[in-house]
């Protein structure tokens, strides 16, 4: 789910875009479908998929995924396992502040999320929509299409969003020094139009000596990463709990 999840109970703690706060999803879905259910953040499970190949072998010991769609999400996988933090809610990479005015100390708290200085507000699909509308190109999809045709205004919109994303990537690399940073989500379908300025900007802000072995790549599984990761998560959790990997059906 696109929410902050309490993994132990499968409950949405907060949910910016969908009214699910406090809903015990794991309990309700288990009761309704009659099989074990696990609930996690959509970007987190997408990261799990990107950390494994089709044969479930690890392709990176440490991976950070940033999903750029309507919002910006993130996931961290270390040694094949999801990192969730002490409360199970980590990471919320979209809420890294990359554009705050600190002249007078900390900026004011956001009236509502995402904060106007956050990675999500400045680099998600909605940010591309705003840039495109301001410059007469259209929404984000129109911007990407025009950029592919070489339109200079659209290319500049992609550069701006890409460079903002690059600042977020630099923060991630400086903190985790991961083997792989993966960019996914709907906006990532723009490919190098987004990733090239993101890589260039990230290189300017990554501390020398850090990230020397970090690769910054597009997600391999595209929009399917979340579904693949959810299935992989379920398999891992069933195995950990000693439950059968295949549910019995009435026919069996």
Output the six-digit token pair for 226: 């979340």
Residue 206 binned pLDDT confidence (cut-offs 50, 70, 90): very high
Distance from C-alpha of 111 to C-alpha of 138, rounded to nearest angstrom: 28
Distance from C-alpha of 222 to C-alpha of 185, rounded to nearest angstrom: 7
Residue 166 forms part of a structural domain: yes
Residue 4 forms part of a structural domain: no
Instruction: Note whether 25 and 12 are within 8 A (CB).
Output: yes
Structural domains of the chain, count:
1
Residues 6+ apart with CB under 8 A from 215: 179, 180, 181
Q: What angle do CA 239, 245, 249 make, to 5 degrees?
A: 150
Residue 227 forms part of a structural domain: no
Instruction: Note whether 84 and 104 are within 8 A (CB).
Output: no
Residue 250 forms part of a structural domain: no
The conformational region for residue 22 under phi > 0 = left, psi -120 to 50 = alpha, else beta, is: left
pLDDT at 246 over 80: no
Say what the pLDDT of residue 135 is.
Answer: 95
Distance from C-alpha of 132 to C-alpha of 141, rounded to nearest angstrom: 9
Summarize the confidence of residues 29-43 as an average pLDDT: 92
pLDDT at 248 over 80: no
Q: What angle do CA 207, 216, 3 make, to 5 degrees?
A: 100
Say what the pLDDT of residue 249 is.
Answer: 46
Look at 112 and 178; give whichever has higher pLDDT.
178
Domain that holds residue 98: 62-221
Residue 96 forms part of a structural domain: yes
Q: What is the CATH number of the domain that holds 184?
A: 3.30.420.40
List pLDDT tens digits, range 77-102.
999 889 988 887 889 899 999 999 89
Output the six-digit token pair for 180: 């792989």
Please count the other Cβ atoms lying within 10 Å of the Cβ belonging to residue 218.
Answer: 16
Residue 238 forms part of a structural domain: no
Output the six-digit token pair for 5: 């999840």
User: What would the DSSP string read from start to end of 112-139?
Assistant: SSSPTTBHHHHHSHHHHHHHHHHTTS-S
Residue 252 binned pLDDT confidence (cut-offs 50, 70, 90): very low
Residue 28 binned pLDDT confidence (cut-offs 50, 70, 90): very high
List pLDDT tens digits, range 215-240.
999 999 887 888 999 999 999 899 88
pLDDT at 250 over 60: no
Please count the other Cβ atoms lying within 10 Å of the Cβ belonging to residue 117.
Answer: 18
Say what the pLDDT of residue 88 is.
Answer: 79
Assign 193 to helix, strand or coil.
helix
Say what the pLDDT of residue 247 is.
Answer: 52
pLDDT at 147 over 60: yes
Distance from C-alpha of 187 to C-alpha of 141, rounded to nearest angstrom: 9
Please count the other Cβ atoms lying within 10 Å of the Cβ belonging to residue 178.
Answer: 23
Residue 179 forms part of a structural domain: yes
Q: What angle do CA 39, 216, 225 make, to 5 degrees?
A: 30
Assign 75 to helix, strand or coil.
strand
Residue 199 forms part of a structural domain: yes
Say what the pLDDT of residue 68 is.
Answer: 93
Helices 140-148 and 125-134 pack at an angle, to 10 degrees, of 70
List pLDDT tens digits, range 4-15.
888 888 998 887
Please give the mean pLDDT across all residues of the chain: 91
């Amino acid at each position: 789910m696109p929410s902050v999840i309490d993994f132990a109970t499968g409950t949405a703690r907060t949910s910016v875009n969908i009214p699910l706060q406090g809903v015990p999803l794991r309990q309700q879905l288990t009761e309704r479908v009659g099989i074990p259910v696990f609930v996690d953040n959509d970007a987190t499970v997408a990261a799990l998929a990107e950390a494994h190949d089709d044969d479930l072998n690890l392709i990176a010991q440490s991976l950070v995924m940033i999903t750029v769609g309507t919002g910006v999400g993130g996931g961290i996988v270390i040694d094949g396992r999801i990192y969730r933090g002490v409360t199970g809610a980590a990471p919320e990479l979209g809420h890294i502040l990359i554009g705050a005015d600190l002249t007078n100390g900390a900026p004011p708290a956001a009236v509502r999320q995402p904060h106007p200085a956050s990675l999500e507000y400045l680099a998600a699909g909605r940010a591309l929509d705003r840039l495109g509308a301001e410059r007469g190109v259209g929404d984000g999809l129109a911007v990407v299409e025009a950029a592919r045709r070489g339109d200079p205004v659209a290319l500049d919109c992609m550069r701006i969003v890409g460079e903002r994303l690059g600042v977020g990537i630099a923060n991630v690399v400086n903190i985790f020094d991961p083997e792989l940073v993966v960019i996914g989500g709907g906006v990532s379908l723009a490919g190098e139009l987004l990733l090239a300025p993101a890589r260039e900007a990230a290189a300017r802000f990554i501390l020398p000596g850090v990230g020397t072995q970090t690769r910054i790549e597009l997600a391999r599984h595209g929009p399917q990463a979340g579904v693949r990761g959810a299935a992989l998560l379920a398999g891992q959790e069933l195995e950990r709990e000693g439950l059968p990997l295949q549910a019995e059906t009435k026919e069996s």
